[in-house]
Amino acid sequence: MKAIEWKNGKVRFLDQRKLPLEEVYVETDDETVVAGAIKTLAIRGAPLIGIAAAYGFVLAFMKLSTYDGRSLISLIEKTTSLFASTRPTAVNLFWALNRMRNAVIDSAGSAPEEIQAKLLAQAQRIHAEDEEMCRAIGRLGAELLPNAASVLTHCNTGSLATGGKGTAQSVITTAWELLKLKHVYIDETRPLLQGARLTAWELKKLQIPFTLITDNTAAFLMQRGEVNAVVVGADRITLKGDVANKVGSYGLAVLAKHHGIPFFVAAPTSTIDFEMLSGTEIPIEQRDPTEVTEIFGRQVAPAGVHVYSPAFDVTPNELVTAIITEKGVLRSPYRVAMEELRRKELSSMVRKAVF
């Protein structure tokens, strides 16, 4: 199962709104369809959003036949704006868009078909890199879990959310393969039920034992000693180590701290916003109130009620036991760890430029 792929000049993606009842794939050569899919959560998960936007960028430039400097800049800005407006919290989106913008700029002056080829190569590189990141995160994260671990996870962080095996879910699946995992507890993840609809669907396919729980059952499970670790993903991580993730993650971190349970965040380095210091700066997307007042199109709340529905919350760094990236496991003090990671990244970029 591939959540997204480039196929015969088109983007093919799985419409995640239909799961788990239907597996519906969409093929399109229209970048606005891809952008719409991101906005409506047909395509979701921070790493996958970045990959989808990269492929969408390619589609936009496939229409390029002739150009001058002004028209090229106009197309770059139009395409960037189209995808940047879809989901404001996930930093992977902007990271991927920046790489695609730079690929166009570096190719300026080339024939349109050369620009298109370089853009496609860049998008496929982003996709392949994410797949490898997932494998590395899984290996590093599985080492942190105790033997016969019972893990609690929130939302969906598997192959439906990434270009590979997942982030937090890659930790889970790798631990299962290494015979370190006993059981998984999946939060249903209100209001859109990504845990119930998506994570449960994936783990069932993988034949990994799990139990689905309501979001407000987690505290009781921890009190009873049924959880050894909490593993979640992330949509943006700041220099201080504050983590934006699916709403409900902060509550799990507070509960884990109270019960002495490690709270792990698994995410690629593309999720780290090196330009943002604190979680208070993270833009938090507000979702449509009907996602709370309706369930599968059926109204469950009185008409006209006021709804507050943030898509994400922010877990402060002091509640995070470790951040698992493909480059290594980061621990407090996170500001120091992040700066060291950034220095290594810059040094690597310099070496590649020289050689």
Distance between CA atoms of residues 306 and 323, nearest Å: 36
Tell me the longest C-alpha to C-alpha distance in the chain.
67
- Exposure pattern of 258-296 as b/e (b: 16+ CB <10 Å)? ebebbbbbbbbbbbbbbebeebeebebbebebeebbeee
Three-state SS for the chain is CCCEEEECCEEEEECCCCCCCCCCEEEECCHHHHHHHHHCCCCCCHHHHHHHHHHHHHHHHHCCCCCCHHHHHHHHHHHHHHHHCCCCCCHHHHHHHHHHHHHHHHHCCCCHHHHHHHHHHHHHHHHHHHHHHHHHHHHHHHCCCCCCEEEEECCCCCCCCCCCCCCHHHHHHHHHHCCCEEEEEEECCCCCCHHHHHHHHHHHHHCCCEEEECHHHHHHHHHCCCCCEEEECCCEECCCCCEEEECCHHHHHHHHHHHCCCEEEECCHHHECCCCCCHHHCCCCECCCHHHHEECCEECCCCCCCCCCECEEEECHHHCCEEEECCEEECCCHHHHHHHHHHHHHHHHHHHHHC
Active centre residues (catalytic):
235
Q: What are the tokens at 289?
A: 């109130």
